[in-house]
Amino acid sequence: AQTVTQSQPEMSVQEAETVTLSCTYDTSESDYYLFWYKQPPSRQMILVIRQEAYKQQNATENRFSVNFQKAAKSFSLKISDSQLGDAAMYFCAYRQPIERGGSEKLVFGKGTKLTVNP
């Protein structure tokens, strides 16, 4: 079974600085999707970024980028120019490719609580 591990229960960063959140996963599949979700105090889950395993290029979305290392099964999230609104729980997640009959289920890590200090 696939597993997702986030080894940092909590992280903090100064406003305007850069922070990297770690995520590793375990799978025997060669094709899959990885995600970072943000859960602010409102508890609404928000998709931050998505990476397709067959793409070597790291996904970016404005101030958010990932470092995807397929061989190492590592998928870290970098937040640049951190803002107060970035404070939230961040969850790393894995999904099989549905197009090949995989499950639509998301497998989540335990989350990292990010604090942004003014």
Partner 1 sequence: GAVVSQHPSRVICKSGTSVKIECRSLDFQATTMFWYRQFPKQSLMLMATSNEGSKATYEQGVEKDKFLINHASLTLSTLTVTSAHPEDSSFYICSARDPLTEAFFGQGTRLTVV
Q: Residue 3 and residue 41: Cα distance in Å, rounded? A: 26
Structure tokens at 37: 């979700």
Residue 99 or 118: the one with the smaller Cβ distance to partner 1 is 99
The smaller minimum CB distance to partner 1, of residues 18 and 103, is found at 103
43 versus 71: smaller Cβ distance to partner 1: 43
CA dihedral sign of residues 24, 102, 66, 14 = negative
- The 3-state DSSP class for residue 2 equals coil
Contact with partner 1 (CB under 8 A) among 28, 43, 56, 100: 43
* Residue span binding partner 1 (CB under 8 A) among the ranges 55-63, 67-75, 77-85, 101-109: 101-109
Largest CA distance in the chain: 46
> Given the rule CB under 8 A, which residues bind partner 1?
35, 37, 42-47, 50, 91, 104-106, 108-111, 113
